[in-house]
Chains A and B, each alone.
Chain A
């Protein structure tokens, strides 16, 4: 397996533009997580899905952020409109059906810069 695949690796956009981040989890993993990492706030859990269903989105900063998982092999995180304070590295992770007992597998992240 190629692991968790995220795209794009880097994104630079202007304030006010829509940004879409993409994630392909490991086949057979039924849980998917979106995290954001910044120097100031560390690693923050934004939202997670079990079997394509959003379970906890309490970490989503505000209505400008939305996430979807239309099927077991694809998820998106959308920011509309984007703001400079959204600049961060966004990670997607997936885990096996037994939950987190074997740990998460992380993607390489998308580095987002909003100017």
Chain B
């Protein structure tokens, strides 16, 4: 069963704009991860944030985590056509266990 739910399910923005995707989950976690999946390909790990962290950056990516609200957001700044993909959040419950994926957000960048 899926632990995380992403919002929105689909997002279309103009190239150069910022894209924000949200993820909500139900039970306490050890960490939360974001992955990207291009059409017909496997998933690629983007960033991991631990439960004791509130914000993390990686290049044009910014992830926040609010454990009191059981939610996370992924911000992609200055979007590019190559950012067109599906983005998934995944929740982990200990340092050596499975992760459960959310339903994903389909992001389309218009040129």
Contacts and interface: CB of A to CB of B under 8 A. Distances in A.
11 contacts: A42-B101, A45-B99, A98-B95, A99-B92, A99-B94, A99-B96, A101-B48, A107-B42, A108-B41, A108-B42, A109-B42
Given A42-B2, A42-B103, A43-B101, A100 B43 contact: no
Mostly, the B contact residues are strand
A107 B92 CA distance: 20
B78 interface: no
Interface string B17-43: 000000000000001010100000111
Contact of B92 (A55, A100, A108): A100
Size band of the interface chain B makes with A:
20 to 34
Contacts of B33: 100, 103
Given A100-B31, A109-B42, A31 B103 contact: no
- Which 5 pairs between the two chains have the least Cβ-Cβ distance? A103-B45, A99-B96, A106-B42, A43-B101, A99-B95
Interface size class of A (residues with CB under 8 A): 20 to 34
For the complex, would chain A's binding face be called helix, strand, loop or mixed by DSSP majority?
strand
A14 interface: no
Contacts of A103: 33, 35, 45, 48
Interface string B61-96: 000000000000000000000000000100010111
Interface of B: 2, 31, 33, 35, 41-45, 48, 50, 88, 92, 94-104
Interface string A53-83: 0011000000000000000000000000000
Nearest to B92: A100
A43 B2 CA distance: 8
Contacts of B2: 42-43
A105 B33 CA distance: 12
Interface centre among A4, A98, A100, A104 (most CB of B within 10 A): A100
A107 B43 CA distance: 8
Given A93-B43, A101-B31, A101-B50, 4 more contacts: A43-B43, A99-B92, A99-B96, A102-B45
